[in-house]
Structure 1
Amino acid sequence: MFDDRSPIYRQIAERIKGDILSGALAEGAQVMSTNQFAVAYRINPATAAKGLQSLVDEDILYKRRGVGMFVSADARERLRTRHRERFFTDVVDPMITEAETIGVPLDDVVDHIRQHEIGEPS
């Protein structure tokens, strides 16, 4: 599950976010506890706690004292909104800049995307 590219607690948080986005974790669903993460993935409980707490801080998860942590009611939509914003900033904007640099008209880029969208070969 883990790689060396980023801290384990961030990877835990990203995995849970991915599960929420994909629908594997529904709104209101309980997530594994800190100790369950620690045992399942053989990591320090403090590391798991840090990953879960980061999601609480982002209002993606909420705590129910003595019960556990759960997916917030609007977590999926908020995550989708953030990802959409990042998509434009990280993918679309650089693509437009590259197209301008190499002289590809924006209309050609849009036409190419539309062809792909309707399943026509590119």
Structure 2
Amino acid sequence: METEILSGHIEVDEKMYSQYQLADMFNINPATAAKGLNLLADANIVYKKRGLGMFVSSEAKALIIDKRKSQTLGKLVKEIVKEANYLNVSEEELVEMVRVEMREKGDSR
């Protein structure tokens, strides 16, 4: 759901899928889907409107980006640096590899 919010497929103040819709979409138990929605609510990514469901908060994108930068990207960077050290890749080489990749991805946007 976070990726759907980041990509703009689900907008700010738009209603999220219900636990039953999510359960059907992902072939999971509705209780599991409800737990996922509650995790998003606990992180202030979605908010509840009593009797209406869950809606995307105005700060959802920023919260998701911050979380992914610190958790997902941070973990990947640690693994890359560790591998670079094993391979004796210098900091300059590694930074240049990242620059090249960023330029290539920038051209394909």
Q: For this structure pair, what is the TM-score category when the shorter chain's length is used for normalisation?
A: 0.7 to 0.9
Residue 106 (structure 2) pairs with residue 118 (structure 1): no
Which runs of 5 or more residues in structure 2 are unaligned?
105-109
- What is the aligned counterpart of 1:107 among 92, 101, 108? 92
Matches within 5 A, 1:16-95: 16-38=1-23, 43-95=28-80
Provide the C-alpha distance between the structure 2 equivalents of 1:58 and 1:109, rounded to a whole number of angstroms.
34
Unaligned runs of 5+ in 1: 1-15
**1:60-79 C-alpha deviation (Å, 9 max, x unpaired):** 11101111110111011110
CA-to-aligned-CA distance 1:36-88 (integer Å, 9 cap, x gap)? 33455565432322221121112111101111110111011110111111244
After superposition, the C-alpha distances for 1:82-115 in whole angstroms (9 at most, x for unaligned) are 1111244211122112212221111011112222
Q: TM-score, normalised by structure 2?
A: 0.79
Q: CA RMSD in A?
A: 2.2
SS in 2 for 1:116: helix
Decide which moves more: 84-93 or 40-49: 40-49
Aligned identity (percent) is 35
Count of residues in correspondence between the two structures: 105
TM-score, normalised via structure 1 length: 0.72
